[in-house]
Amino acid sequence: MSLRLFLHVWSIETRSALSYRVDFWLNVVVEFAAQFAIVYFLWQYMFENQGAELIQGYTFHGVVIYYLSVILLGKLVRGKGFDAAVSADIYEGGLNRYLIFPAPYFPIKYAQHLGMMLPSLVQFVLFGAITVAAVGFPAGATPTPASIGMAAVAVAVANLLHFTLSFPAPREL
């Protein structure tokens, strides 16, 4: 498969994911706020109930930053609801066009997956920057360009592995 075709499919899926911007951002903000509020208030209660400054070596600030990064990185690793791609194409008859045309199936589906995931990358950068500006980094956790690069490679590999493992996932009827 050519890089040009891969980028074209990726571009189409990104535009499709962002076609309803208000709905997209409303869902993103509400989902993020709900997840963050649950984590924040749960850990706030646990720290207040224990009456401790540290729980297993973590401060409240450190735990909140950790779970915030888990929420945002989880979106980058999992992508956006692209599970059961193969079974849906088989069930709906969409696989036939890949058997007729000389386009490889897996790279096209991965390009679609990456296109649907690009808005999650924007969310990660936006919410991550807002959080760092508002809360700051915990003590002893200063990122370097090398650590950011290694994290980016790890997230990219994790995304590819997640996609590969969920690629033939069965469809729920």
136 occurs within a structural domain: yes
Residue 139: domain span = 3-166
172 occurs within a structural domain: no
Measured in degrees and rounded to the nearest 5, phi and psi for residue 142 equal -95, 120
Predicted pLDDT of residue 47 = 87
173 occurs within a structural domain: no
54 has a pLDDT exceeding 50:
yes
Q: How many domains does the chain have?
A: 1
Tens of pLDDT, residue by residue over 67-112, are: 888 888 887 888 765 656 677 777 788 777 777 777 777 888 888 8
134 has a pLDDT exceeding 50:
yes
Alpha-carbon distance of 45 to 59, in angstroms, equals 13
58 has a pLDDT exceeding 60:
yes
Q: How far is CA 15 from the centre of its chain?
A: 17
DSSP 12-80: HHHHHHTSSHHHHHHHHHHHHHHHHHHHHHHHHHHHHHHT-S-BTTB-HHHHHHHHHHHHHHHHHHH-S
60 occurs within a structural domain: yes
Alpha-carbon distance of 39 to 29, in angstroms, equals 15
157 has a pLDDT exceeding 80:
yes
- Per-residue pLDDT band for 173 (boundaries 50, 70, 90) equals very low
